[in-house]
Structure 1
Amino acid sequence: MSTDLGLFGPDSVSWRVHREPVLWLAGLRALYLQALHPRAVAGVVQNSDFRRDCWPRLMRTAEYVGTVVYGTTEQAEKAGRRVRRIHDRLRAHDPVTGEEFRIDDPHLLRWVHVTEVESFVSTARRARIGLTDADVDRYYAEQTRAAALVGLDPATVPASAAEVDEFYRSIRPELALTAEARDVARFLTVPPMPGRVVALGRPAWLGVATAAFALLPRWARRLYRLPGLPTTDVAASLTVLGLRGVINALPVRDGPIYREAMRRAEQAHGEVAA
């Protein structure tokens, strides 16, 4: 019986990309970007108490991504079913028209998916993880499997860098800096922290949030009414590269999902060798 290596496996670009702890920046970047879609941010604001639940919510999201990438096929599919059940019962109202819409509207799900995977892979490239253009296209194609878990038809999901660029081009007229987007962006930049860590944690988080924001595409920074200058891109790349070096030098322990994935990969290698 072959070992279940999950949706991707050790030879995938997805395993290479998500091995990097610096991708925490990418997750935060995706949240800044997602807030620019009026319906997407309205769905979050109207269906969650993110101000009180921010840290557990971030941890749950990180755990979900880790499970999808490194978990077994059964674990990934179970996580996807849980997300679909939650989304299935949620509704929100358009902040302009008042029209009710479903949180699992495929158009919104695609926006969230694309902003996530594009944030991951673009941050990985800025950190000089060593991805070729072909690797990036392969990553997007692999991640259509993750899109299927939340209920999207993989055939409708951008599966290359060119398709992601076209998706952004087509959706940009829908994006706007709403009051809710400004509120969420401020919250992401200065979230509440426990009193015992606020003195050190807040300056550190501000530095991380600033770096994540600077990683946004120039057009997204302009929507936030901030300059989309090339010099910002250069500074952001240098910051990510420096952070990657610092993080990789720390004695950071791998999580249990990753360790179990490595154990299964070694077992599968042994089965092939035998």
Structure 2
Amino acid sequence: MDSDDLGLFGPGSVTWKVHDEPILIVAGLRSLYLQALHPLAMAGVAQNSNYRTDAWGRLVRTATYVATTVYGTTAEAEAAGARLRRLHARMRATDPNTGEEFRIDEPDLLRWVHVTEVESFLSTARRAGLPLTDDEVDGYYTEQRRSAALVGLDPATVPGTAAEVAAYYRTVRPELRMTREAAETALFLTAPPLPWKLSLPARLGLTLGPPRWAYLGVAGTALALLPAWARRMYGGLGLPTTALSADLTVRALRLALGAVPRRYLEGPILQAAKQRAERLTATPLAG
């Protein structure tokens, strides 16, 4: 029964520990900046996505998918994965350099998106101050092979430890570059149109109201949290001081979010998961 199902991970997993962090909103943006550096992955998004006209809707759908796979029941997670696989199976894109058509669900592209996403979640949470041992870090990557399977990847082909993730990045880096589409996407991610209510100051002539400044701060932090080699590709400096400044900023942001009552930060999928876990384990969960 779904009421007795704790999903793919459960309250004792490293995945639940990491994804309980509200700071992952920064991690999601970081992963998008990183993903844009892969020319084929970027071409696939640009040619198949309406992210420019429905940026916030796409963000909500992506966040809902991640929450479902992490906190939903096994049946809910598998159904979400099946829907995504069917969607990807219909999509094609054209290589801007060769003119050749390719499938969106090619394993190399799926693997790139998966690794950049989970590495961004893990590294952002850790740099923000979430205490994780090296064994827990490896445990997170191993657990996330279950998420990789949902999108159609063979888990055995997906990095399952920190060392394997680092090796994967070294292998794929020669394929990455700053394309025109990547630059345009990065600019859009840094200054997207705000939802109507938040953009009201701009409609009144106040182009940099508090919501815009707040978002720019989050975007700047996400960029600064990128690996040094990725920051250099975006035209920045891969200096240790940049990384240190990013660490201090993301730690301060985590502390600020920690002061907000959790009921304002937890979505219904997470709340339902915690209720199931408390009912089955008779142990109240944090938050």
Q: TM-score range by the shorter chain?
A: over 0.9
What is the distance in 2 between the residues matched to 1:156 and 1:134? 20
Letter in 2 for 1:46: Q
Partner residue of 1:48?
A: 49
**RMSD between aligned residues:** 1.3
Q: Residues 6, 97 of structure 1: CA spacing in aligned structure 2 closer, same or farther, 3 A cutoff?
A: same
1:196 to 181, 197, 200: 200
Letter in 2 for 1:64: Y
Partner residue of 2:206?
A: none
What is the distance in 1 between the residues matched to 2:262 and 2:13? 23
Letter in 2 for 1:255: G
**Structure 1 unaligned residues grouped into runs of 5+:** none
What secondary structure, in the 3-state scheme, does the structure 1 residue paired with 2:144 have?
helix
Aligned residues: 271
Partner residue of 1:6?
A: 7
What secondary structure, in the 3-state scheme, does the structure 2 residue paired with 1:21 have?
coil
What is the distance in 2 between the residues matched to 1:197 and 1:214? 28
TM-superposition CA deviations, 1:158-177 (whole Å, max 9, x none):
00000000000000000000
Partner residue of 2:231?
A: 221
What secondary structure, in the 3-state scheme, does the structure 2 residue paired with 1:265 have?
helix
What is the distance in 2 between the residues matched to 1:100 and 1:248? 47
1:197 positional shift: 5.3
1:67 aligns with 2:68: yes
Partner residue of 1:110?
A: 111
What is the distance in 2 between the residues matched to 1:49 and 1:223? 25
What secondary structure, in the 3-state scheme, does the structure 2 residue paired with 1:92 have?
strand
1:246 aligns with 2:250: no
Matches within 5 A, 1:138-153: 138-153=139-154
What is the distance in 1 between the residues matched to 2:131 and 2:282? 28
1:148 positional shift: 0.2
1:200 positional shift: 2.0
What is the distance in 2 between the residues matched to 1:136 and 1:49? 34
TM-superposition CA deviations, 1:49-100 (whole Å, max 9, x none):
2111100101111111111000000000010011001100000011111111
1:143 positional shift: 0.2
1:230 aligns with 2:228: no
Partner residue of 1:260?
A: 272
What is the distance in 1 between the residues matched to 2:214 and 2:231? 22
1:270 positional shift: 3.9
Partner residue of 1:160?
A: 161
1:205 aligns with 2:209: no
1:251 positional shift: 2.4
Following TM superposition, the consecutive aligned residue runs of length 4 or more in structure 1 with deviations greater than 4 angstroms are none
TM-superposition CA deviations, 1:165-216 (whole Å, max 9, x none):
0000000000000000000000000001233155221111100000000000
1:267 positional shift: 1.8
What secondary structure, in the 3-state scheme, does the structure 2 residue paired with 1:184 have?
helix
What secondary structure, in the 3-state scheme, does the structure 2 residue paired with 1:101 have?
strand
1:226 positional shift: 1.1
What is the distance in 2 between the residues matched to 1:120 and 1:270? 29
After TM superposition, the score normalised by the length of structure 2 is 0.92
What is the distance in 1 between the residues matched to 2:151 and 2:51? 21
1:268 positional shift: 1.6
| More moved, 209-218 vs 256-265 | 256-265
Q: What is the identity percentage for the equivalent residue pairs of Structure 1 and Structure 2?
A: 63
What secondary structure, in the 3-state scheme, does the structure 2 residue paired with 1:192 have?
coil
What is the distance in 1 between the residues matched to 2:73 and 2:117? 21
What is the distance in 2 between the residues matched to 1:125 and 1:21? 13
TM-superposition CA deviations, 1:246-273 (whole Å, max 9, x none):
01101242211111111111122149xx
What is the distance in 1 between the residues matched to 2:57 and 2:138? 32
Partner residue of 1:135?
A: 136
Letter in 1 for 2:91: L
What secondary structure, in the 3-state scheme, does the structure 2 residue paired with 1:130 have?
coil
Partner residue of 1:58?
A: 59
| More moved, 47-56 vs 249-258 | 249-258
What is the distance in 1 between the residues matched to 2:41 and 2:76? 27
